[in-house]
């Protein structure tokens, strides 16, 4: 059995989740008649304090629907340099919405109201008009960093003062809430729209959602249909997400504890250094050698999968399929593989 630390997207549905999916009541979701999808959307909207939510196949679709909602062709989106919307969604904003993206250099994925205001340009026929600000919470490339809610509130206020829409990529917002004790709705309350993912730490096999004002989500349904995201008897999938919301949110604290356990073990290995403080379930570390790809292959042969994200750097993500025993075994394997580099 592989110890898979590449991502929390590798989670598989539990037996109880499979049972919930097998017995899900279904209908045609495009007609709004799937009761399980409707229940999932209502629960998600409630948790996020929004009027409505819409079930979609992926987080990328949720984010790109938000971009489409808030912009027109030729507009500009401002976001942090390491944002998923920019770097991990296949250039979709340019192709699907016809917008350009301009980055703000953040600190572990987080930037301030002052950073935003400094980045804004006066109206000029030569420049694309800025329409949308995007944030990511938790921030993947920032090592699972959590936005301080005060910083988020100030940034939101600055965006509103300039007439800008504000979207949160909250794929791991559940992790941020568990780590801080701040309700998801309190984070989401500072945003016009927010996306959340069910298939990462929550362990559902498929799905994300976009939440926001009812009128905006109704418009987004048409855009979802354009992109081929109009699913029919989707309640089978929604049942897994609904089960995850009801049973897997609070257990995310176990993933955070395992991430800290992993970091503690890694710091005992000569030459290994941790990039960022461990706030949630992501650990980014360096091995002091530009042979990360080689180490990853060695670890695979020894039953540990881990993701190189640079010549000397790895990202490890803990999730519901990883136990403390798995972490201890992974640390031993990493120590052995790194020491063999000498």
pLDDT in tens, 137-176: 999 999 999 999 999 999 999 999 999 999 999 999 999 9
> For the chain, what percent of residues have pLDDT higher than 90?
98
Query: What is the C-alpha separation between 306 and 52, in angstroms, rounded?
Result: 37
Residue among 52, 63, 15, 10 nearest 243 (CA): 15
Q: What is the CA radius of gyration of the chain?
A: 20
pLDDT in tens, 269-322: 999 999 899 999 999 999 999 999 999 999 999 999 999 999 999 999 999 999
The stretch 235-250 carries a mean pLDDT of: 98
What pLDDT score does 342 carry? 73
Contact assessment for residue 64 and residue 89, using Cβ atoms and an 8 Å cutoff: yes
Contact assessment for residue 206 and residue 239, using Cβ atoms and an 8 Å cutoff: no
> Which residues fall within 8 angstroms of residue 262, CB to CB, at 6 or more apart?
5, 283, 316, 318, 327, 330, 331
pLDDT category, 340, cuts 50, 70, 90? confident
* Domain architecture of the chain: domains with CATH: 12-247 (3.40.640.10), 251-339 (3.90.1150.10)
Residue among 94, 36, 282, 77 nearest 165 (CA): 77
């Amino acid at each position: 059995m592989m110890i898979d630390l590449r991502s929390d997207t590798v989670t598989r549905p539990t037996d109880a989740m499979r049972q919930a999916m097998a017995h899900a009541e279904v209908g045609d979701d495009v007609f709004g008649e799937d009761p399980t999808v409707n229940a999932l959307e209502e629960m998600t909207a409630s948790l996020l304090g929004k009027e409505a939510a819409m079930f979609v196949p992926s987080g990328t679709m949720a984010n790109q629907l938000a971009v489409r909602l808030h912009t027109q062709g030729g507009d500009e989106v401002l976001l942090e340099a390491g944002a998923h919307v920019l770097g991990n969604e296949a250039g979709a904003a340019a192709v699907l919405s016809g917008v350009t993206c301009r980055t703000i250099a953040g600190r572990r994925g987080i930037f301030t109201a002052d950073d935003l205001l400094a980045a804004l340009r006066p109206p000029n026929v030569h420049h694309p008009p800025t329409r949308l600000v995007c944030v990511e919470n938790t921030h993947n490339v920032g090592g699972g960093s959590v936005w301080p809610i005060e910083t988020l509130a100030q940034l939101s206020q600055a965006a509103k003062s300039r007439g800008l829409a504000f979207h949160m990529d909250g794929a791991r917002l559940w992790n941020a809430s568990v780590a801080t004790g701040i309700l998801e709705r309190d984070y989401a309350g500072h945003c016009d729209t927010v996306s959340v993912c069910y298939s990462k730490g929550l362990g559902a096999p498929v799905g994300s959602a976009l939440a926001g004002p009812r009128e905006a989500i109704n418009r987004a349904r048409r855009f979802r249909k354009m992109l081929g995201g109009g699913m029919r008897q989707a309640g089978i999938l929604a049942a897994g997400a609904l089960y995850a919301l009801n049973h897997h949110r609070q257990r995310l604290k176990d993933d955070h504890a395992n991430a800290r356990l992993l970091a503690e073990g890694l710091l005992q290995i000569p030459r290994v250094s941790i990039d960022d403080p461990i706030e949630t379930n992501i650990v980014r570390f360096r091995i002091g050698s530009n042979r990360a790809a080689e180490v990853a292959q060695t670890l695979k042969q020894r039953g540990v999968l881990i993701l190189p994200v640079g010549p000397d750097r790895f990202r490890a993500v803990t999730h519901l399929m990883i136990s403390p025993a798995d972490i201890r075994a992974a640390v031993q394997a990493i120590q052995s593989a790194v020491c063999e580099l000498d």
